[in-house]
């Protein structure tokens, strides 16, 4: 292992865990050291190649915490299993970088970090929505370039979103949180497309509409639609909150972009490949009133040719989950996954993992994606 790129904590502990990037906060380190782990943290900011991670796993490694930028597949899980590894956690809620079948075949449980990203990511989707609607990137560049010579009635006209229709593709935790923020904060109507009905979101909308009506204000409405096409055609804003898999890759392609209103806004805080980025560039060029707000990109960190030059696109570098609270919470959950699995503890029994952030975390692994496939014990059951 390259000694200059790795920071070692608790060097004499019997278990060895590698962490492929420095994580925020310190509690996650305490969790691993309390579980008798020597923690080896890569201090290098460059994305680690598979070969380098394999070298870091070496001949003996009990567990690993990896990043969404690393392809954790057959090669790495085989290496981890051969080194005696019994636990892996992604430092992410998303797990499209992980080959779950390969991990399961090698008997390695795979953790992720749900729950703590919900509000933070939804807030970024809201921020991108408004940045696109009100052209803040474009306006800031204009101002910084010294081109502002005084208030003008037609300077940077944008779109009012109060009362607009917002379409959400994927109404899971983050999508639903975004929908609520847009309804409550900006009185938008919501359409959503999801394989499952989100009764909680619909009930909230009904109750909120009654509240508004009782105050003499126009009510909001929330409705599930049967097709993505219906949502695209009817929405002023479309925000993507799906998983990335074979069914959602290029879900938004040239054909679907053409179905959107010419002055609609497309927001993506899910995964880059959900959008055909080259098609989006072409669409934005042809439709200057169309706008996009993007946190994720098809071939990160590269951008599709022409994207960065488009004035009608707002772009940020995959930072939707980047609040201190969330990123520290993700670190705690990833460490708790690995520590609990190495101690042979069961897997938590509910989607709500807030208990792991408190002072008395349950003796369980917060979230393990292949727990059932591996037949792991569930907390609270005999
Ligand atoms: C995740 O956790 O999947 C996010 O993309 C990180 O920002």
Residues 20-47 pLDDT 10s = 999 999 999 999 999 999 999 999 999 9
Distance 318 CA to ligand 1 centre (A): 8
Catalytic site residue from 134, 318, 327, 345 = 318
Query: Three-class SS of residue 146?
Result: coil
Residue 153 lies in a domain: yes
Within its chain, how far is the Cα of 217 from the centroid? 34
Claim to verify: residue 38 and residue 139 sit in the same structural domain: no
Claim to verify: residue 109 and residue 33 sit in the same structural domain: yes
Claim to verify: residue 123 and residue 110 sit in the same structural domain: no
Question: Pick from 275, 296, 315: which residue ends a domain?
Answer: 315
Distance CA 270, CA 273 (A): 9
* Residue 174 lies in domain: 118-315
Claim to verify: residue 340 and residue 304 sit in the same structural domain: no
Residue 27 lies in a domain: yes
Query: What is the H or E stretch that residue 118 is in?
Result: helix 118-133
- Atom 7 of ligand 1: nearest residue by CA position: 321
Distance 24 CA to ligand 1 centre (A): 14
Claim to verify: residue 285 and residue 330 sit in the same structural domain: no
Contacts of 20 by beta carbon, 8 Å cutoff, 6+ apart: 42, 48, 53, 56, 64, 65, 66, 67, 70
* Angle ∠(139,145,146) on CA atoms, nearest 5: 100
Distance 92 CA to ligand 1 centre (A): 5
Claim to verify: residue 19 and residue 149 sit in the same structural domain: no
* pLDDT in 10s for each residue of the chain, 382 residues: 554 499 999 999 999 999 999 999 999 999 999 999 999 999 999 999 999 999 999 999 999 999 999 999 999 999 999 999 999 999 999 999 999 999 999 999 999 999 999 999 999 999 999 999 999 999 999 999 999 999 999 999 999 999 999 999 999 999 999 999 999 999 999 999 999 999 999 999 999 999 999 999 999 999 999 999 999 999 999 999 999 999 999 999 999 999 999 999 999 999 999 999 999 999 999 999 999 999 999 999 999 999 999 999 999 999 999 999 999 999 999 999 999 999 999 999 999 999 999 999 999 999 999 999 999 999 998 6
Contacts of 348 by beta carbon, 8 Å cutoff, 6+ apart: 355, 356, 362, 364, 365, 366, 367, 379
Question: Pick from 315, 333, 358: which residue ends a domain?
Answer: 315
CA neighbor of 138 nearest in space, from 339, 309, 353, 280: 309
Any residues with Cβ below 6 Å from ligand 1, and which?
Answer: 68, 92-94, 117, 320-321
Claim to verify: residue 283 and residue 268 sit in the same structural domain: yes
Catalytic site residue from 271, 283, 291, 345 = 271
Buried (b) or exposed (e) across 356-380, using 16+ Cβ within 10 A? bbeeebbebbbbbbbbeeeebeebe
Structurally, the chain folds into a number of domains equal to: 2
Q: Is 318 a catalytic residue?
A: yes
What is the CATH classification number for the domain harbouring 44? 3.40.50.720
Claim to verify: residue 176 and residue 293 sit in the same structural domain: yes
Q: Is 138 a catalytic residue?
A: no
Claim to verify: residue 302 and residue 337 sit in the same structural domain: no
- Atom 2 of ligand 1: nearest residue by CA position: 92
- Atom 3 of ligand 1: nearest residue by CA position: 94
Residue 379 lies in a domain: no
Ligand 1: atom nearest CA of 296 is 5
Claim to verify: residue 147 and residue 271 sit in the same structural domain: yes
Residue 227 DSSP code: -
Q: Is 140 a catalytic residue?
A: no
Claim to verify: residue 11 and residue 89 sit in the same structural domain: yes
- In the structure encoding, which two tokens stand for residue 84, read together? 């005696």
């Amino acid at each position: 292992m390259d000694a200059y790129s790795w920071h070692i904590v608790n060097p004499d502990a019997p278990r060895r865990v590698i962490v492929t990037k420095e994580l925020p906060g310190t509690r996650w380190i305490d969790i691993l050291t309390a579980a008798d782990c020597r923690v080896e943290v890569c201090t290098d900011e460059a994305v680690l190649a598979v070969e380098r991670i394999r070298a870091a796993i070496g001949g003996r490694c009990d567990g690993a915490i990896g990043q969404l930028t690393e392809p954790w597949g057959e090669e790495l899980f085989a290496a981890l299993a051969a080194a005696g590894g019994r636990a892996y956690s992604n430092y992410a809620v998303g797990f499209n970088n992980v080959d779950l079948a390969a991990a399961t075949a090698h008997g390695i449980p795979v953790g992720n970090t749900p729950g703590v990203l919900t509000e933070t990511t939804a807030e970024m989707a809201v921020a991108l929505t408004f940045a696109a609607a009100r052209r803040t990137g474009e306006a800031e560049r204009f101002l910084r370039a010294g081109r502002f010579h005084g208030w003008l009635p037609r300077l940077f006209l944008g779109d009012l979103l109060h009362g607009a229709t917002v379409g959400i593709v994927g109404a899971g935790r983050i999508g639903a949180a975004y929908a609520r923020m847009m309804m409550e904060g900006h009185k938008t109507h919501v359409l959503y497309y999801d394989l499952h009905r989100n009764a909680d979101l619909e009930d909230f909308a009904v109750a909120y509409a009654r509240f508004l009506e009782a105050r003499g204000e126009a009510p909001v409405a929330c409705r599930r639609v049967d097709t993505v096409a219906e949502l695209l055609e009817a929405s002023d804003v479309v925000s993507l909150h799906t998983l990335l898999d074979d069914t959602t890759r290029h879900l938004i392609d040239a054909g679907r972009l053409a179905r959107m209103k010419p002055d609609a806004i497309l927001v993506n805080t899910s995964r880059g490949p959900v959008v055909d980025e080259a098609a989006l560039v072409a669409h934005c060029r042809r439709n200057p009133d169309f706008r996009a707000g993007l946190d994720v990109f098809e071939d990160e960190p590269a951008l599709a040719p022409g994207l960065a030059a488009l004035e009608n696109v707002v772009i940020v570098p995959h930072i939707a989950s980047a609040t201190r609270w969330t990123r520290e919470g993700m670190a705690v959950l990833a460490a708790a996954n690995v520590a609990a699995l190495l101690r042979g503890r069961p897997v938590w029994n509910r989607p709500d993992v807030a208990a792991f952030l408190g002072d008395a975390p349950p003796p369980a692994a917060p979230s393990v994606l292949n727990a059932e496939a591996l037949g792991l014990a569930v907390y609270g059951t005999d």
